[in-house]
Amino acid sequence: MNKARRLATVKSVLCAIPIYQLLVFTPPIKTIKQLEKIEVGFLWAGREAANGGNCHVNWRRTCRPIELGGLGIPDLERTGLALRLRWLWLSRTDQTRAWSGLGLQFSADEWALFFACTQTVLGNSHTTLFWDDRWINGRAISEIAPQLHACIPKRKRKARTVAEGLHANALARDIEGTLDIQEIGQYIHLWSTLERTTLTEEPDQLLWKWTTSRSYSAKSCYKATFQGSIHSDSWKFIWKSWAPTRVRFFHWLADQDQCWTADRLARRGL
């Protein structure tokens, strides 16, 4: 079996086996490394494990999307993170789920990615989180007043809604610790900003930034983890051609400067 066929097998079989586990559990890093070791060995050497000489390209680069210079093999850690964000999204947008209100626990990475991928259109303010959601002109309080935000206990940040925070100055009661001049200044600035808040009778809307439907999808979430990467159109000359996959795979290796071409041999004095 050539490398092109092994690539198809890695994508369709080896990467698919742990999907349901990744959807529910956060596996230990050691487990992810062991799964990747099997994928690396099969792709580059056709066996369970491969030594360093068999691996032509760094695995992190190999797992990048095709349009970012990789082979499009799913990165298991990023895939699991994108899949598990589904539960955080549903817990905030669909209260009819049987498990709604059970207080599911989410990791710091999941919250951080969710924060980067969403923004809120404020309506009646009953479901929007006061301290953590992006509801003030597309910005969150952690961006407007970061030092003040750091004075709020996590349990209150994850529970206080905008409706509660705006009522009877409840936001001031959430603050713990001693405030210095920076926190006081940020509090005054925040208070003046909140005075311009307008509520409606419509329910709040949580919007997903990376789809036209404004709803979560695992594919868009996975791609969002590569935001900031450098794009290049060179991938089109490789993967949009009519050449057989094994030829395109070889072309990709050459583009990564991993084929023993004449110029590479000359650089090494061979």
pLDDT tens per residue, range 57-67: 999 999 999 99
DSSP 58-122: -HHHHTS-GGGTS-----HHHHHHHHHHHHHHHHHH-TTSTTTTS-----HHHHHHHHHHEEEE-
pLDDT computed for residue 203 by the predictor? 92
Token pair listed for 43? 């792709």
Output the average pLDDT for the chain: 90
Confidence at 265, pLDDT banded by 50, 70, 90: confident
Helix 29-45, helix 76-93: angle, nearest 10: 130
Residues 80 and 106 sit within 8 Å (Cβ to Cβ): no
Token pair listed for 118? 């969403």
Residues 63 and 75 sit within 8 Å (Cβ to Cβ): yes
Q: If you average pLDDT over residues 175-195, what whole number do you get?
A: 90
